[in-house]
Amino acid sequence: MGISTDLPERNRAWAEDLKLPFRLLSDLSPNGKIGRLYGVWDDLWGLERRATFLVDKQGIIRHVSLQSLALDGRDILEALAKLKRARQ
């Protein structure tokens, strides 16, 4: 799943446009509750910094990537490949 401070309607449209295989949830609140829990809330801008967390089925965070831009997903692809190799 993905989480952002965008409106739910905007997340839904974006996910449909990109044909994402996962849901995008909205953390649109004055306090960014989820962003604060994950340590990515930016009080100055009032939004979440771009970050990617790979979480396994047991809820354990296996990889964290903090990005200035979310345009390059190579680090996430590499982390996924490493996790797959570790399971083999």
The model's pTM is 0.65
80: confidence class by pLDDT, cuts 50, 70, 90: confident
User: How many CB atoms lie under 10 A from the CB of residue 67?
Assistant: 14
Instruction: Give tens-digit pLDDT for 32-78.
Output: 888 899 999 988 888 888 888 888 888 888 888 887 555 556 777 77
Asked if pLDDT for residue 9 goes beyond 90, the answer is yes
Tokens representing 85 are 């190799």
Residues 71, 64 contacting (CB under 8 angstroms): no
What pLDDT, on the 0 to 100 scale, is given for residue 71?
A: 54
Residues 31, 52 contacting (CB under 8 angstroms): no
